[in-house]
Amino acid sequence: MYYNFYIYIVNNLDLKKTNDLNKKIVHYLKTAVKNDSYWSKYLNESFAKESLAHPTFHIAIFVEPFLQFVLEGKKTIESRFSINKCAPFNKVSKGDIILIKKSGGPIVAICNISERWYYHLNADSWHEIKSYTDSLCAYDPNFWKAKKNASYATLIKITHVKEVSPLNIQKKDRRGWIVLSETGNKQYNLIV
């Protein structure tokens, strides 16, 4: 089954509309993972009406070959580098849910965040980050060369990767990470 929710990026967010988006995403995910015991239980417990704190949804754009590495379970840590402090830096928490979007394509999988590390980059932090080369699947020297001017890094340990029926979204900017937040913040937010 192929789902089509057209999601548009806007600057000023109506809280009610964000809750509607989260409800639509939860409904879509519950349908997409109904035969997966971990995800069925996690979504039901996390988004029960009596639950006060819900995990935050994130959309992360992946390019090849890293998307395939994640889907195959080879890549267990995702990295994002930036010159400025931008998502996911200081925006992800343990238990949050990442909607994995293929660059130029639909959302194709979901996963959980089990750990995260934030770095203001210096010689020591670069050394520590490079110690995760295997988990990052970052064997190509060009990967590191492309990141050399970054000032900030976020490493995210991902677990419970599950492919889902493709979910089309219409995204009109170049960001590689979007926080779907229930409260207005400096991030752009998505509404249906």
- Amino acid 180: pLDDT: 85
For residue range 111-162, list pLDDT tens digits in order. Answer: 999 999 999 999 999 999 999 999 999 999 999 999 999 999 999 999 999 9
Please, what are the domains in the chain?
3-191 (2.30.130.30)
Looking at the chain, how many residues does it have?
Answer: 192
Tell me what the mean pLDDT of segment 33-56 comes to.
Answer: 90
pLDDT confidence band for 19 (50 / 70 / 90): low
Long-range own/partner contacts, residues 34-37 (CB < 8 A, 24 or more apart): 36/162
**Alpha carbon of 5 to those of 1, 62, 69, 95, 168: distances in Å?**
13, 19, 26, 24, 6
- Per-residue pLDDT for 186 more than 50? no
Kindly report the average pLDDT of the chain as a whole number. 86
The DSSP letter of residue 56 is P
Dist. CA 8–CA 156, nearest whole Å: 26
- Cβ–Cβ < 8 Å for 158, 166: no
Name the residue among 86, 81, 78, 60 with its Cα closest to residue 152: 81
Residue 3 or 46, more confident: 46
Q: Where are the beta strands (DSSP E) in the chain?
A: 3-4, 8-10, 57-62, 77-82, 97-102, 107-120, 152-168, 177-180, 189-191
